[in-house]
Structures are given as C-alpha cells and as structure tokens.
Amino acid sequence: MAHVRGVCAAASELWRMLVLLLGNIEGVLDDVCGVLYDEQLVCPGCMKAGRWGDAASAWDVHEQLGQSHTVYCERCDADVVFRTANAAPIRRPKPRSDAAEALPAQPLAPPLASPAAAPASAAPEGCWFYFIDAERLLAFEGATMPHLQELLRSQPQMVVRRYIVFTDVCAHANRGEICTVSHRWMARHEPDADGTQLKVVKAHVRAHRASIKLVWYDAWCLPQGMRTPAEELEFKTMLREVNLLYLGMSVLILLDLSYVSRFWTQFECWLAFQHVGEGGLRPATDDEIRATIVTIYNANEHMARGLRSMWSHRTPAETVEVLSKPDVTVTNESDKQIQLAKLLQLDERVRRA
C-alpha cells in the first residue's frame, strides 16, 4: 500500500507525491511478471475509523475518479472529496514522441489529463522531463537563467514537459529537435554565475533555430537546492534516466579547462559520441556524431580536438576502465560507481530495444 499523509491544506502537494510514488511503483511491478495489484483510493474516513481491507470503501482510480472528484462512502455516510486539481491520473497517459505540452503555473505539478486518454497498459518505457522552449529562451533578456523552481513560479511559459520514450531515443527521433547541454558547474550552487554559458547556448540555438525546439540544461530543467519531498522524488526519477538525453539528442558541449577532469561531463561526452544501433552502442561515424563542442573561458581548439580523440572511439568497456581511474573526479563517489554499473547495463538495454 502506498500511503501518503498530511494536512488537508496541502492536499494538492500530497496528491502529486502519491502520483510520483505510484509511478515508480508501477515501473517496478511492470518489470516483475506475475505480480497482481489493484489501483484504488481508500476512504480516509474508513481508515481513520480503523476499517481496512474489505471493511473500507475503495474506488478504482481510473473508472470512478475520472467522472467526479467527489464520491459517497456508505460506511461513513459522508461525501469524500479527492482534491486532484493540478494533478495527473495515477496511470500515466501514453505519450506521443512528437508532442510537447506547456506546463501549468503550479510548480512541478504533473499536467491534468483525462483518464479516458490513459491506455489500458503501462506507458512505453521512458521518462518525463522538463525542457526550455527554444524560442522563449532566445527572447529571455536576463543575464543569467533562474533555476527550474523559480522559472515555474515566475515564467512558467518557458517550461515544457515531454515524455521521452526509450525506443524513440534508439531511433534518433528527437535528435534535431532537442538540444542537451553538457557543461561544468562553475560554482557549487550556481553553474553559470556570469552568464557565459547562457550566451553560448543562446548563440547555438539561434544558429540552429530551424531545428532546435527544446533545450535541456540541468539547472533549468531539474529541481535544485532545497527540494520538497515531491520535487526530490521527481529529481531522482529524472536523474535515473538522464542518460537518454545525451544518448539520443543533439548535445552541445561547453568545454572549459576543468571539463576533462570531471566524471559527469566526460560520461556525458562519451554518450554524445555514441551511436545507437541494433548491435548496441558503438562509436559514431563522422556523419552520425550528434555532439558540437564550443570552447569557453581558457579552453581552446586544441583541447576540443583532444576531447574528440579521447572519447569518439571508445567502447563501453574501455569507457568504464577510463572513468574508474582516480584522476576522474566526482563530488559524490557513489554516483561514479552507480553510473559505471549502469553504463554496461545501458549497452545491453539498447540491444534489447
């Protein structure tokens, strides 16, 4: 049982937490054949009175709550109101890889979708991500870009939510339309304090305006800083699948002097130089490369050539060996161990797609 408690005033936030929690649970259960489970909402009055299981009133999420958010509990002789404003149904709707949807102003709220649109089976393998609308990015006049939470509060029209499907990544369906930025954080809590990276990203988008529609940059598209429980859960969900954004999209690499010493940036760079095919991951040919390297600060073209030489021809096994060395630094050492294990799993995952 997924059980979320809180005060009535925070009902919308609690609902979003439940949606995210059950989305993760469904993902696990869908991978385990033979597990039977129901998706129901149980009357809180019955639970408070100590009535559990068959003794409590319960309603199917999709059949009942799609028609009305107020239901009647015979056992409690009272109406039960499920406050689902700004929340998504428990079962995620089947996404279209070519459709983007604007976010509501409510911070990090999954968009309201009709239960009638939800498929009978689980959504295709993939993940919801936030992106920045390319045209609105070009129109942005600030010197630096706010983090995601502030964008959702002050300029929600800039943020777009898209479900990225794993098979679309393997088919390079989003290659030209989405630009993923690989960069180093210049300070612990602020990646781009002087606005240099924002200027370079905008220049790149402007030069490819005909194709780039969405931009992903971690500080603008992942919840940052002090996160609410719902934001933390969403952050971890997206971070777990963030490799998809470097594996199937065009990648803009912002190369500075320290880029080549950091684990995350080198991992992202290697992904950007990979090609997804029936045989798994392999180095991309010159015609297949999705990465564009732009030097910033004191980096130069000699370093850019060295970066290409270092990562454009390595196999997954060779990459694990290089990234595991102690001169490849990472803030959280456990991140390195987890991602290196996932790297080889990613190759196998691509082979099965």
- Per-residue HEC secondary structure of 307-339 comes to HHHHHCCCCHHHHHHHHCCCCCECCCHHHHHHH
Task: Output the pLDDT for position 86.
Answer: 42
Question: At 201, which helix (H) or strand (E)?
Answer: helix 196-207
For CA atoms 331, 188, 206, 302, the dihedral sign is negative
DSSP states of 127-187 as a string? Answer: EEEEEEEHHHHHH---SSPPPHHHHHHH-GGGEEEEEEEHHHHHTTTTTTTEEEEE---SS
Q: Tokens 């997954």 — which residue?
A: 316
Burial of 28 (0-12, 13-18, 19+ CB in 10 A): exposed
Residues 6+ apart with CB under 8 A from 289: 272, 273, 312
Confidence at residue 122, expressed as pLDDT on a 0 to 100 scale: 55
DSSP3 helix / strand / coil % (the chain, rounded to 5): 40, 15, 40
Q: Give CA–CA dist 95/164, Å, rounded.
A: 8
Instruction: Report yes or no: 90 and 4 within 8 Å, Cβ to Cβ.
Output: no
Count of H helices and E strands in the chain? 14, 13
| Buried residues in 259-285 as b, exposed as e (16+ CB within 10 A) | bbebbbbbbbbbbbbbbbeeebbbebe
Measure the CA–CA gap between 16 and 6, rounded to whole angstroms: 12
For residue 25, the model assigns a pLDDT of 64
Spans of all domains in the chain: 8-81, 101-352
| Strand 250-255 versus strand 291-295 pairing type | parallel
Note down pLDDT in tens along the chain; length 353 residues: 556 666 555 555 665 666 566 656 655 555 544 444 556 677 878 777 777 666 778 776 555 444 446 777 878 888 777 654 444 443 444 444 444 444 443 334 444 233 333 333 456 889 999 999 999 999 999 999 999 999 999 999 999 999 999 999 999 899 999 999 999 999 988 999 999 999 999 999 999 999 999 999 999 999 999 899 999 999 999 998 999 999 999 999 999 999 999 999 999 999 999 999 888 899 999 999 999 999 999 999 999 999 999 999 999 999 999 999 999 999 888 888 888 888 888 888 898 87
Residue 41, pLDDT score: 73
Q: Name residues whose C-beta falls within 8 Å of residue 69's C-beta, 6 or more positions apart in sequence.
A: 81, 82, 83, 84
| Long-range contacts formed by 301-306: CB under 8 A, 24+ apart | 303/255, 303/257, 303/260, 304/255, 306/260
Q: Are strands 178-182 and 214-216 parallel, antiparallel or unpaired?
A: parallel
| Closest alpha carbon to 312 in 339, 282, 336 | 282
Q: What are phi and psi of 71, to 5 degrees?
A: -130, 160
Contact of 191 with 218, CB cutoff 8 Å? yes
The answer to whether 24 and 1 are in contact (CB under 8 A) is no
109 within 8 A of 91, measured Cβ to Cβ: no
Instruction: Kindly report the number of other CB atoms within 10 A of residue 29's CB atom.
Output: 14
In this prediction, residue 88 carries a pLDDT of 41
The SS3 call for residue 295 is strand
- CB-hemisphere CA count at 13 Å for 317? 0
Q: Which three-class secondary structure state does DSSP give residue 253?
A: strand
